[in-house]
Amino acid sequence: MSRKNKQPSPCNEQDLKRKCPETGSPVIIAISAKLVFTEQNMSPGPAFSFVKALKAVNAELREHYPESQELFKVILIDDNRSDELNKSIKKHRLITCDIISGEDLINKLKENNTHLYLSGSEEMVKEALKNEIAAAVMKTPEKMAEVSESELHIAFDGDAVLFSNESESVYASEGLEAFYKNEREKVNDPMKEGPFKGFLEVLLKLQRKLHDNCPIRTYLVTSRGGGCPGFRALNTLRDWGLEIDEAFCLGGSNKGPKLETIRPHVFFDDQDSHIKDALKFGIVGCHFDGSNLAGRM
């Protein structure tokens, strides 16, 4: 299924600023510095290509909106390598980054209205999620697949990621037949939002500014099948006023081969097995435990 963004997404006035920033507000992405440059020799880490792609999108936005501050802004988290990091950023001509320490980090992320936090620490990711900040542990493939330098490709799982884990909970507690029954009965009922819905919103807001020439591509890669479970996922996005570029309902098939075709810079999923499958195909997987998020977001 392929879907193009056409309609603007209305912002709920009660949404947090980080989920739906005012005109001119940057999209804040906080990343552990060692994911961009390794601690051993400052060589590119798993987030390097992602950060490089953010710069490509910013260049396109600046060309069309030179006065706007509605751009990607990267915050690197590091306690003792600021000079080395600044040198490496200049050497590789990456996006300009602010560098902050990890002390009292969650409060700093909240103060900066952070839209996405990527870390190597499961504990910090759990703390961020508790504070309603989209966050994930970035995993490194043994050999990373080549990805675009001129476009930004981001892939999301559905349940517990863009959506709440309410349907996943039915499957876990009552089995597959109960899950199918639940989705048939609720196919037109939108699911509650998951922790990454807000990040998708701001991506689409930037995407719409650049119309058909936008270098941002978004993907839904879900284990849901193409019947009522798949339709409910798409109906939920439509109810939110959001459209995704391409949606793949794999019906339980391995996600790795499809991700290899998409070549996303990052792929978000709450299931460790899906992340491991992505890593086998050279895709940078971003994992978090979504089991305790039902009804929270």
Query: Which residue segments constitute the domains of the chain, with CATH numbers given?
Result: 27-137 (3.40.50.1000), 152-287 (3.40.50.1000)
For 87, list phi and psi in degrees, rounded to 5.
Answer: -65, -45
What's the pLDDT tens digit per position in 146-164? 999 999 999 999 999 999 9
Looking at residue 15, its pLDDT comes to 44
Catalytic residue IDs = 157
Looking at residue 40, its pLDDT comes to 83
pLDDT band at 21 (very low <50, low <70, confident <90, very high): very low
Higher pLDDT, 53 or 172: 53
What's the pLDDT tens digit per position in 197-216? 999 999 999 999 998 779 99
What's the pLDDT tens digit per position in 28-64? 999 999 999 998 889 999 999 999 999 999 999 999 9
Interval 108-123 mean pLDDT: 97
Higher pLDDT, 286 or 3: 286
What's the pLDDT tens digit per position in 227-243? 999 999 999 999 999 98
Residues in the chain: 297
Residues near 27 by beta carbon (within 8 Å), at least 6 away in sequence:
21, 70, 71, 72, 73, 115, 202, 203, 206
For 194, list phi and psi in degrees, rounded to 5.
Answer: -100, 180
Looking at residue 63, its pLDDT comes to 93
Higher pLDDT, 51 or 295: 51
Interval 98-111 mean pLDDT: 95
pTM of this prediction exceeds 0.85: yes
Q: How many CA atoms lie within 13 A of 57 on its CB side?
A: 32
pLDDT band at 293 (very low <50, low <70, confident <90, very high): low
pLDDT band at 87 (very low <50, low <70, confident <90, very high): very high
Q: Residue 250: which of 272, 279, 220, 278 has the closest Cα?
A: 220
CB burial of 186-205 (b: ≥16 within 10 Å; e: otherwise) equals bbeeebebbbbbbbbbbbbb
Looking at residue 68, its pLDDT comes to 93
- Say if residue 10's pLDDT is above 90: no
C-alpha span between 174 and 153 (Å, rounded): 35
